[in-house]
Amino acid sequence: MAHVIDDTCVSCGACESTCPVGAIAPGDGKFVVDADSCIDCGACESACPTGAIKAE
Ligand code: SF4
């Protein structure tokens, strides 16, 4: 399981530094979570101003 960032992401980057394992990085038009690195902690969820980050 991993967290995912949906299309409501506005690429603000607010979530990137909240991830303890560095799984969040800029992607094509939105930020993306590396599913292999994500430990499903949920630390990034509350950082997102658009609520784009969800548990998959
Ligand atoms: Fe990183 Fe935790 Fe968010 Fe996964 S759930 S992307 S490990 S902050």
Asked whether the CA dihedral 9, 29, 31, 10 is positive or negative, the reply is: negative
What is the tally of structural domains in the chain? 1
Is the confidence at residue 56, as pLDDT, over 90? no
Q: What is the pLDDT of residues 12-44, one digit of tens each?
A: 999 999 999 999 999 999 999 999 999 999 999
DSSP string, 34-48: -TTT-----TTGGG-
Q: Please work out whether the CB of residue 38 comes within 6 Å of at least one atom of ligand 1.
A: yes
Q: Is the CB of 22 under 6 A from ligand 1?
A: no
55 DSSP assignment: E
Beta bridge partners of 5: 53
Its domain, for residue 37, covers 3-55
CA separation for the pair 39, 10 (Å, rounded): 23
